[in-house]
Amino acid sequence: MKHGPDIARIAALLGDPARANMMTALVGGQALSAGELAREAGITASTASSHLAKLTDDGLLVRVKVSRSVYYALASEDVAALLETLMGLATRTGHLRTRPGPKDPALRRARVCYDHLAGELAVTMLDRLLTRGVIEDRDGALSLGPDTGFLRAFGVDPDALPRGRRPVCRACLDWSERRNHLAGSLGAAVLTRIYERGWARRSPGTRLVTFSAPGLAAFEAWLARPIGSGPPAADLL
């Protein structure tokens, strides 16, 4: 008998179409009720309850109790990253669900992945942060680089980010761009700051992140600032 991680069990959990639909509905980081997830998966409430129990017992989901209501959310960013990677693989191999929506191009442009920005704009952002030394890539492992002043001027203090099991910087494979975007506590803090500046907003009930025209211009101007160009982002919007 060989000992090691039981990936077959995880694969079996995600291999059921109903469970897969419920899990991907939670990739945006929100918590949904059993009824909402049942509708997302197109199954009855009793069937959804059975699936949710399995996903919770095996550590992929957590139950969130608010007053008398119970909601379900992804257990961790690791789970979100796994789902995002599987979505990318499914896209590349031609295995697509037959439920495309009118906002698909917009989702490819900018969306939420768990609690950080994903999509074309997110991949561009990570490229720029790597180029200017804000983040360093060492054999696929991301870490803070020397130019942390760029983040502080934007309103994100790297020293104030929580240190724990969750990494500060993490590469997350983007399913639509097939390249990495920024995850971790830094990725979450940057997206929060984008919201605070009013550059973009999240559409209720979806993963879609919509930048206003001035907000997109400010976002692009922030990323395009020359290296060593002095105090930045406070005056962008």
Q: Which domains does the chain have, with CATH numbers?
A: 7-75 (1.10.10.10), 82-89+97-235 (no CATH)
- Highest-confidence range of 81-85, 192-196, 229-233, by mean pLDDT? 192-196
CA nearest to 14, candidates 89, 70, 68? 89
- Interior angle at CA 180, CA 178 and CA 181, nearest 5: 120
CB atoms within 10 A of CB 166: 15
Q: How far apart are the first and last CA of the chain?
A: 61
Q: What is the pLDDT of residues 82-136, one digit of tens each?
A: 888 888 777 777 665 644 443 478 888 999 998 999 999 999 999 999 999 999 9
Question: Quick one: average pLDDT of 72-90?
Answer: 86
CA nearest to 117, candidates 72, 84, 142? 84
pLDDT at 60: 94
Beta bridge mates, 211: 200
Cut 0.85: pTM above it? no
Q: Which helix (H) or strand (E) holds 21?
A: helix 17-25
Model confidence at 222, pLDDT cuts 50, 70, 90, reads very high
pLDDT at 229: 57
pLDDT at 102: 39
